[in-house]
Amino acid sequence: MKYENAVTPSDAQMKGFFENDHGKPISMVNLLKFKDKAEYPEDHELHGKDMSGAEAYAIYGMAVTKIITDLGGEMRFFGDVQRLMLGEVEELWDQVAIAKYPSRQAMVDMMMSEEYNAIHAHRDAGLAGQLNIETVEE
């Protein structure tokens, strides 16, 4: 099985996200890989600050949790990856996070909000890549 971490979805992935919206709540399983050192743009107030990617992403994580909650969702789980119990991968992710949204549209609303755009720099500064898996409860 091949996998590739990414920071943004491909056009095909975004198109699929908007097709056949079932309107049900979704939970996004995030397998997160952080940069060793945070990389903020030159015009950002934290540019040049000695900070790990995990620290930068933690700023984003705390703020995005509030946004998700305000939209009627919840952060279901955050945890550091310790080891691989079963299977094989070349490199482990650093953290797993599971966020529940009332619908796909709620997630889109979050991503389009001014509040989200204000914190996005922390995500970009800290995140080397991730896998983001949409799930629906049965």
* pLDDT tens profile 61-119: 999 999 999 999 999 999 999 999 998 888 899 999 999 999 999 998 999 999 999 99
The pLDDT, as a whole number, for residue 3 is 75
Find, among 97, 98, 109, the residue nearest to 72 by Cα: 109
The region that residue 17 occupies, defined by phi over 0 for left and psi between -120 and 50 for alpha, beta otherwise, is alpha
Q: What CATH number matches the domain at 11-135, 3.40.710.10, 3.40.1390.10, 3.30.70.100, 2.60.40.420?
A: 3.30.70.100
The full set of domain ranges for the chain reads: 11-135
Sign of the CA dihedral running 100, 36, 40, 49: positive
